[in-house]
Amino acid sequence: MKIKRALLSVSDKSGIVDLAKVLKYFDIELISTGGTKKALTDAGIEVTDISQVTKNPEAFGGRMKTISFNVESALLFDRERDSQEAQLLGIQPIDLVVCNLYPFDKVLAESADFDTLIENIDIGGPTMVRAAAKNFKYVTVLTKPQDYEMFTKEISASGGSTTYEFRKRMMTAAFNHTADYDALIAQTMDSESGNYSLRLAFEGGTILRYGENAHQNALMYRMKGKQNTYFDMKILHGKEISYNNILDISGAVNAVRELPGNACAVVKHSNPCGLSSGINQRKALEQAWQGDPISAFGSIIAFNTPLTRDTVEFFELNHANPAKRKFIEVVIAPRIEEDALQYLQLNKNLRVIEFDMTKMTFDFDLRFVDGVLLQQDTDRMLYEKLELVTISEFSKDKNRPLIEFGLNVVKNIKSNAICIVGQNDSNFYLLGMGAGQPNRLISTELAISKAKAFIQADFNEQLADFETFYADKIKDVILISDAFFPFPDNVELAASQGIRTIVQPGGSIKDKAVIDTCNTLGINMIFTGIRHFRH
Q: Which of 134, 144, 226, 239 is catalytic?
A: 134
> Which one, of 354, 353, 350, 302, lies nearest residue 328 by Cα?
350
How many CB atoms sit inside 10 A of residue 207's CB?
10
Beta carbons of 502 and 474 less than 8 angstroms apart: no
Q: Which of 4, 144, 237, 269 is catalytic?
A: 269
Q: Can you name the residues that pair with 433 across neighbouring β-strands?
A: 419
Phi and psi angles of residue 319, each rounded to the nearest 5 degrees, phi first: -65, 140
Beta carbons of 406 and 478 less than 8 angstroms apart: yes
Buried b (16+ CB within 10 A) or exposed e, 396-411: eeebeebbbbbbbbbb
Which residues, 6 or more positions from 451, have their beta carbon under 8 angstroms from its beta carbon?
Answer: 420, 431, 432, 474, 477
Rg (CA), the chain: 31
Measured between alpha carbons, how far apart are the two ends of the chain, in Å?
A: 56
Is 535 annotated as catalytic?
no
How many CB atoms sit inside 10 A of residue 436's CB?
17
Beta carbons of 420 and 499 less than 8 angstroms apart: yes
Per residue, the 3-state secondary structure of 393-422, as one string, reads: CCCHHHHHHHHHHHHHHHCCCCCCCEEEEE
Buried b (16+ CB within 10 A) or exposed e, 480-491: bbbbbbeebebb
Pairing assessment for the beta strands 372-377 and 364-369 based on DSSP bridges: antiparallel
> Which one, of 138, 143, 151, lies nearest residue 125 by Cα?
143
Is 396 annotated as catalytic?
no
Strand ranges (E), 474-530 = 478-481, 501-504, 524-527
- Please list the active-site residues: 134, 269
